[in-house]
Amino acid sequence: MDTKKVAEFVGNMWDESIIPEISEYIKVPNKSPHFDPDWEQHGHMETAVQMLEAWCKTQPIKGMSIEIVRIEGRTPLLFIEIPGHIDNTVVLYGHYDKQPEFTGWADDLDPWVPTIRDGKLYGRGGADDGYAAYASLTALMALQREGIPHARCVVLIEACEESGSYDLPHYIDHLRGRIGEPSLVVCLDSGAGNYEQLWLTVSLRGMAAGTLRADVLDEGVHSGYASGVVPSSFRVLRELISRLEDESTGRILPDYLHAEIPEQRLEQSRHMAEALGDAVYTAYPFCEGVRPQAGDNVERILNRTWRAALSVTGADGIPSLAAAGNVLRPFTALKLSMRLPPTVDGEEATRRMQETLEADPPLNARVRFEPDHAASGWNAPDIAPWLQSSLQKASQAAYGRDVMYMGEGGTIPFMAMLGEFFPQAQFVITGVLGPNSNAHGPNEFLHIPFARKLTACVARVLSDHAQRQPAQAAA
């Protein structure tokens, strides 16, 4: 494989075609169905998938078939099939639904207005995960231009990932016969520890999420009249959350939310800490003077990748400061997001969390935990020798540095599904979400030079996959 020719073609595609297309895609507020329940009526999801389809159809890929697959009541899925040169299948995955705008964008940036600055394309959904379809097809085109063989490829681009991918199992079942039995899965929806080398995600956390609500009154009453007699609904929730979390350290308390960390993942975390140094925590926009949790960088990495962690991501029943009066409020509700170790079952953890939170409520307050969605994490199978070699060669060719392996703190439900459906497959989980790229938050950006090189790396892996030794190819 002529890496220079591949890199040149990929770079030109990004500059001349992909960046303009992603820029147009950023303008479309196709929020995931959890954030836009009326997505079908609003039409933004349809606009986005048709944009993707139109671009894909114009690419000169031999034998490619493209279809927008629709199941009534579910977000549409883009299904692409490309014939290969060997009797093997590769699945390439991404998603095109987006998180909402969020607040805090810089004054000169806007979530729905693409802006290029210092090699970065700002806007919602460009990095998470609008580039996946474009990069996947570009990698394949680079191989075909050079006459390099590749396996049959199936590209799946869903529209429900940011809502927990609850539509995806229905599509997998529907398309199972057309997907086949992949020996390799490539997922372009993950992160990177820096922008200086290839990063492979080898584990993902799961999630147990829901709304915890405490009611103490049928209506609000004067706080001077009632406080001291009527319990604060906020205090009730504070006490309940303490059943889950040590508030002084952030450590999660129930044993069922913990898992043993494999020695291999401990070693990879140590290597990651050596590679990144203090960037493990300095990459975050801390307020001045705020210290990170944990005592050293290895522990911080493990906290983010293999240990449960609780976040309160929303609230109800609490007026804004401007509207707050001297009223003891009738209820408080908090949205809880519990990230789970990769090997903890998401459904079971959610069920037991509900039991923990609802049992024996303080002062007999009316307490309910309504699960939102549960997702199990994922722990990669052992990496085959051919893939280890391919990833190393790809990283050296593109970046001049060794490949690195990392756990990721987020959740990609598709991985757990495919890991269960196709236990013999190898996995390449990677992506452009490096330091400060800020997916889901303000000022999300796609690092263009890094994305170019990542696309070339994918091309290299697809080439090496097709050229495995017969014994490896049959495995």
The reported pLDDT for the residue numbered 416 is 83
CB 227 within 8 A of CB 328: yes
CA gap 439, 122 in Å, rounded = 11
Nearest C-alpha neighbor of 189 from the set 227, 241, 136: 136
Q: Which 3 state secondary structure label does DSSP give 222?
A: strand
pTM score, whole prediction: 0.90
| Architecture of the domain made up of 207-259+325-375 | 2-Layer Sandwich (3.30)
CA gap 437, 432 in Å, rounded = 8
- Domain ranges (residues) in the chain: 3-204+377-474, 207-259+325-375
State the DSSP H helix or E strand holding residue 279, giving kind and residue range, or none if neither. Answer: helix 279-282
Can you state the angle between helices 385-399 and 3-13, rounded to 10 degrees?
Answer: 70
DSSP string, 286-332: PPTTPPPSSSSHHHHHHHHHTS-EEEEEEEES---GGG--SEE-SEE
Sign of the alpha-carbon dihedral angle for 289, 290, 292, 294:
positive
The reported pLDDT for the residue numbered 469 is 55
The reported pLDDT for the residue numbered 248 is 94
- Given pLDDT bands bounded at 50, 70 and 90, which one contains residue 474? very low
Which amino acid type is present at position 100? P
Q: Any idea which residue has 């895609």 for tokens?
A: 25
CA gap 336, 316 in Å, rounded = 12
Is the pLDDT assigned to residue 314 strictly greater than 60? Answer: yes
User: Per-residue pLDDT tens for 30-65?
Assistant: 999 999 999 999 999 999 999 999 999 999 999 999
Bridge partners of residue 206, in order along the sequence: 340
- Given pLDDT bands bounded at 50, 70 and 90, which one contains residue 413? confident
Burial class (CB within 10 angstroms; exposed 0-12, middle 13-18, buried 19+) of 2 = exposed
Across 63-170, where does the E strand assignment appear?
A: 65-69, 77-82, 86-95, 115-117, 120-122, 151-158
User: Per-residue pLDDT tens for 185-216?
Assistant: 999 999 999 999 999 999 999 999 999 999 99
Which numeric CATH code is attached to 3-204+377-474? Answer: 3.40.630.10
- What the block records as the tokens of 342 is 């990769």
